[in-house]
Structures are given as C-alpha cells and as structure tokens.
Amino acid sequence: MRRALANHPAPGALAILAFAAVSVLAGSLLASCSHPVTIEPRSPTRSSTATPASSPAPGLRSDGAGRGPSGAESERPASPSNSEGAAAAPTVPAGAEPWSYDGADGRVYVTASARIHSTLAVGSLDRALPSFVERAVSHYRTALCELPAPRDPLETYIFGTRSQWERHTRERLGSSAGPYLAMGKGGFTTEGDAILYDIGPLDTLTIIAHEGWHQYTQRTFKQPLPLWLEEGVACWMEAVRPGRGQSASSPFMPWRNHERFSELRNGARRGDLIPLEALLDSSPEQFLRQGKDRMLLYYAQVWALVHFLREGENGRYAEALRTLLLDASEGTLHARMQNSQIFPNSKARSMHLQSRVGKWVLLEYFNPRFSEFKDQYEKFLKQVTQPSAAQRVWQGESPAQAPPAN
C-alpha cells in the first residue's frame, strides 16, 4: 500500500517521480522546492539484445518483461553488466582518475560535459560511458533545437551494485531516502546530479540518457519547463538502439521505444487513455497515487505528446516547440507568460506562475484553441497505435508518417 510521507527530500528539492515501481508514495513529501529530484524506477526485466523491450519512464520502465511489436512478453531478465570481468583485478582505464566508494575500486571519467563516477567492473559498459554521455549531451543540444552547452559539468554516479547505490542514497537524502530505496530498478536526479546503478547494459544506458536530460535542464536552463514537457522530452531522449552504445553512429532513435509504445498501445486498446486536460494539469506523483500502471501510461502519453509537437499536423507545432525550449533555456519563458493574454483573469495567471502544471503554456505557445489541439492530438494517438504501427516503431520510424515508396 502506498502512503504519503511527511518528510521532505534533500533541502530545496522537488521530487518528480518519473518511473513507477515505487512502493512508497513520494508525492506529497516532495512539494515545494527549487531543484527537482526525479525518481526513475525501472522494470526488473529487460533484454539487452535486439528483442524489443518495455520501458517505463527514466528512463521509467514498467515492472514485468519486455514486449516486442506483438506485445509478447519475454521472461529473460537483464543480467547486471558488472558481472563482465568481475574476477579481474581492479584497473583504471586510460584517461580516468582513480576513485573509490564504500571499499570498492572505481574511477572518474572527466569529459567536456561531465564527470562520471563509476564503480562498475572494468568492461565494455564502463568504457562506453564517456563517449555515450558526450553523445547524449550532443543529442539534447541538437535533436529538437540548438541549445547551449551545460554551464557546469553533469555529475553522474553509476554504482556497480545496488547496495552501493542504497548507501549513497542514504548519505544524500538522509531520512528522506525511503521512497527512493523502495524502488525496484531505477535511479534519481537531485540538484543536477544523477544517482544510478548497474541494471544491465541497455537499461543502464537508457536511464543515463533519460536522467541526463533532467541533469542538463537543471544545470543549463534558466527557467524550468512545464512538467509534462520536461518528462516528455526526457522520455523522447531515452531510446537507445541495442548495440550502439559505443558505435560511431548515433545510438538514439526516439521512436524505437518499445515500452513507451506498448504502454500507449495497450492504453488505447483498453480505451482508458488519460485525457489531455489531466495530462497537463497533473504531476507524476498524482498518477502514482492511482497506481503504477497509470503512471506508466502518463509517461507513455507525454512521450507521444512530444512526438506530436515535433511532427504532428505536418510539423505545424515544431517551431513553437523550438521556441519554448529556447525561452526556458534563455530565461524568457516566465516573462512571456506574465505578459500573455491567454489567461481569463489575474487569478489564473498568478496560479500558473506558481506552478509547473496546467494548459496555459500549451495555449500560449502552440494553439489557443484547446479543443482543436486536443482533437489533433487524439487523432495522432489513434494513428500511431493502429495495428500496423508496431513494425514501424520497431524499425525506429514514425508510424505517423507514410512509409517511403518502393
């Protein structure tokens, strides 16, 4: 049973639950702060092969097995990648600085954009971290629009074991660590630092990519995005192609996110998709109170919403999405909303300026006719969840666009 806790996370932190295997509700405990903490629980199983896998949000991953285009479940658990070379004597790869934690030998990789603290066993995943994180940051800065480099390095901690992660979480959050420790597989970001552990090669890279977006915005944007867009973009950024963690080509394919797609398609089949109004007006914690499955559906739908803003209606809203991201990055979002004529009265304006939820940013930047936008979004959802869409998603292609002619 989930219950609200009275304690707050680290001082000045707002917890945004981003994936849903949390057995203790962190909703009301994370209420008033300046620096977000994002929790990213993940499913206990996910194949690291080319089999499509399900993924709640952090990257969230749903509890249960991965699903392919047909929705069939796989019972293969992801093997922790720190088993690779576990018996080898500890070494420090070239370009890394020695570091240790809780008696475990590790290293710190320093890149142009990040400092990566790792106690992973030296192996392919550990060696992939510096280049993968740099390509992830490049992805954040260029995929949707041209955004600035982080003002400060992204501090990422990736522990080789869950016990190390739990100890560090207690050290970071003290008496507020309970909701985080209750997660199945996952991690969190607090004040720009990502606190993660090894959950298998592909899942670990996926959660790094998801949490990296939260790190990037917390350290780079002068003003925060609405929650629905912050989480939607993080989900959009997280999809990693199997086997591409170290390859020269881009490892990111935003449509090839089988867990988000599966959750979205299943919600459409059940006829219980979250109405757009509720999607915009609610925080992840509020959906968690309704159950883990509802929270996973939230992440799937904000993932789809970002795809819609980028390519729906023949790209009608793509430029507005770019403008909104730039305004938040440059610190002009609040001034535009302060001066907007979209609000019906001063009370609505004042309430919006004190919150990160609601429809007002959507009305101001994308379409002042909410009913028209909603109809377009729902039409897009029907299009991308039709039976023929699964194969396109598996190939990393948009199911909303016509396939190329033979």
The C-alpha atoms of residue 137 and residue 342 are separated, in whole angstroms, by 34
- Identify the pLDDT of residue 88: 42
Which residue matches tokens 């039976």?
387
- Identify the pLDDT of residue 358: 95
Indicate whether 242 and 296 sit together in one domain.
no
Bridge partner residues of 16 (DSSP) = 38
Query: What is the span of the domain harbouring residue 342?
Result: 278-394
Q: Residue 216: helix, strand or coil by DSSP?
A: helix
Residue 290 burial by Cβ neighbours in a 10 Å radius (0-12, 13-18, 19+): middle
The C-alpha atoms of residue 330 and residue 279 are separated, in whole angstroms, by 26
Indicate whether 315 and 170 sit together in one domain.
no
Q: Identify whether the C-beta of residue 396 lies closer than 8 Å to the C-beta of residue 257.
A: no
- In angstroms, the Cα distances linking 336 to 53, 326, 353, 360 are 40, 12, 11, 11
The C-alpha atoms of residue 132 and residue 5 are separated, in whole angstroms, by 36
Q: Is residue 191 part of a domain?
A: yes
Indicate whether 219 and 354 sit together in one domain.
no
Indicate whether 309 and 375 sit together in one domain.
yes
Cβ neighbours around 119 below 10 Å, total: 26
Indicate whether 229 and 334 sit together in one domain.
no
- Stated as kind and residue range, the H or E segment containing 115 is strand 114-118
Domain boundary among 195, 217, 252: 252
Q: Is residue 4 part of a domain?
A: no
Indicate whether 306 and 215 sit together in one domain.
no
339's CB contacts (< 8 A; 6+ apart) are none
pLDDT by residue for the chain (406 residues), tens only, comes to 222 222 323 333 333 333 333 222 222 222 223 334 555 554 444 333 222 233 323 333 433 333 233 332 222 334 445 434 333 444 556 678 999 999 999 999 999 999 999 999 988 899 999 999 999 999 999 999 999 999 999 999 999 999 999 999 999 999 999 888 887 778 899 989 999 999 999 899 999 999 999 999 999 999 999 999 999 999 999 998 876 444 445 689 999 999 899 999 999 999 999 999 999 999 888 887 888 889 899 999 999 999 999 999 999 999 999 999 999 999 999 999 999 999 999 999 998 988 899 999 999 999 999 999 999 999 999 999 999 999 999 889 999 886 555 4
Q: Which two tokens stand for residue 405?
A: 């002619």
Indicate whether 189 and 300 sit together in one domain.
no
Bridge partner residues of 193 (DSSP) = 155, 190
The C-alpha atoms of residue 297 and residue 294 are separated, in whole angstroms, by 5
Q: Is residue 85 part of a domain?
A: no
Q: Is residue 175 part of a domain?
A: yes
Indicate whether 241 and 333 sit together in one domain.
no
Indicate whether 25 and 98 sit together in one domain.
yes
Cβ neighbours around 106 below 10 Å, total: 25
Cβ neighbours around 79 below 10 Å, total: 14
Indicate whether 49 and 148 sit together in one domain.
yes
- In angstroms, the Cα distances linking 140 to 133, 135, 228, 316 are 11, 9, 17, 22
- Identify the pLDDT of residue 184: 74
Q: Is residue 178 part of a domain?
A: yes
Domain count, the chain: 2
Q: Is residue 301 part of a domain?
A: yes
- Identify the pLDDT of residue 354: 87
Domain boundary among 252, 270, 294: 252
Indicate whether 137 and 243 sit together in one domain.
yes
Q: Is residue 264 part of a domain?
A: no
Indicate whether 236 and 301 sit together in one domain.
no
Q: Is residue 266 part of a domain?
A: no
Backbone angles phi, psi at 67, to 5 degrees: -120, 140
Residue 335 burial by Cβ neighbours in a 10 Å radius (0-12, 13-18, 19+): exposed
pTM of structure = 0.79
Domain boundary among 237, 252, 267: 252
